[in-house]
Amino acid sequence: MLERLNILLELGGPVLMTLVVLSIVAVSIIAYKSLQFVMLLGQGKSFVSIVLKHYRAHHYEDALRILARNRSPVARVMDVAIVGHARADLKEFMVREEIERIAALHLERMRSYLRGLEVIGTLSPLLGLLGTVMGMIDAFQQLEYAGSRVDPGVLSGGIWEALLTTAAGLVVAIPTLAMLNWFERIIQRTAHEMENAATQVFTGAVNEPPVDYVTSQLRAT
């Protein structure tokens, strides 16, 4: 297997070697992002309804305790919304601006390294095409040097070697772009869930929270 891989790398030249390096980078990014998303979102979103139930019943400490145990960006946004809404010294627009800041911060962290996947998914087919063009040029040069003693096997062998890089570029690009789109979809859904949860905090409050709770129980944002 290793010997066959060495033969393919020799046939593909520096272009194929570059694609192999890009594939390793892409796999590393995909593995890292998958682990990150599992850690952030693996607890699901069932906690949202439980937190809102405690919040509407004015069990603020219970609500915040549940949020503190959850790493989800949705939990962090709800935490800021509950704490900010309970503070009488803060205007609602100030709390909403802080929620937007926290949400944007978490979304930016979730988008980290995705630009790298986009670049790899875009460049890989182009590199493969470049390798094919270079291989075709070499094959036709050999055909020219052969003159009247043309061997069809030489030409077909050169074309096969040239097309190898195009195939390799597509093999790298297709799963990379597929995973990129999946990650972006998860981020879009998370952004929607954060907005929905924060809105429910503001629209779901039955009464203003007690002043003594605001002054003595809430932690500072």
CB count within 10 Å of CB 137 equals 12
- Give 171's pLDDT tier (boundaries 50, 70, 90): very high
* Residues 6 or more apart whose Cβ sits within 8 Å of residue 179: 30, 33, 117
Cβ within 8 Å of residue 73, ≥6 positions away: 40, 103, 106, 107, 110, 190, 194
How do residues 60-97 score in pLDDT, each as one tens digit? 889 999 998 888 999 999 999 988 877 777 788 888 89
DSSP state letters, 8-48 = HHHHHHHHHHHHHHHHHHHHHHHHHHHHHHHHHHTT-STHH
* Tokens read off for 109: 């962290």
218, pLDDT greater than 70: no
Give me the DSSP letters along 151-186: -HHHHHHHHHHHHHHHHHHHHHHHHHHHHHHHHHHH
> Cα(131)–Cα(150) distance, rounded to whole angstroms?
24
Q: Where are the domains of the chain?
A: 11-216
What is the percent of the chain with per-residue pLDDT over 90, rounded to a whole number?
Answer: 39
Which tens digits make up the pLDDT trace of 110-130?
999 999 999 999 999 999 988
Q: Report how far residue 39's alpha carbon sits from residue 42's, in angstroms, rounded to the nearest whole number.
A: 6
